[in-house]
Amino acid sequence: MSPRRVGQRTEQPIIFHASSKLFRQGIRFNDEMNRMMPGRHLGIPIGVTHFKSHEEQNKYDLECLAKHMARIALENKM
């Protein structure tokens, strides 16, 4: 089974000298992640949880994220 590719970002090689273009991409990525995660957490409970597969773990993460986003939306409505 070959790995699935999601998105269009290409992995950049590690280089000795920094590139301003890649630096700006990193800043944009970081800003978007911070916008997605108010308060710096996704609503996923802290602790050790075991899953039978990656798909099961991804489903759990998405359910926690959806519940967290719904809570934020309700708080913003009030």
Domain boundaries along the sequence of the chain = 20-77
Higher pLDDT, 18 or 26: 26
Asked if 37 and 69 touch (Cβ cutoff 8 Å), the reply is: no
Confidence class of residue 5 from pLDDT cuts 50, 70 and 90?
Answer: low
How far apart CA 31 and CA 5 sit, in angstroms, is 23
Q: Output DSSP code: residue 38.
A: G
Residue with tokens 């590719």: 5
For 23-76, the pLDDT digits (tens) are 888 888 888 877 776 555 667 777 788 899 999 999 998 898 888 888 888 888
Residues 6+ apart with CB under 8 A from 46: none
- Could you tell me if 40 and 61 are in contact, meaning their C-beta atoms sit under 8 angstroms apart? no
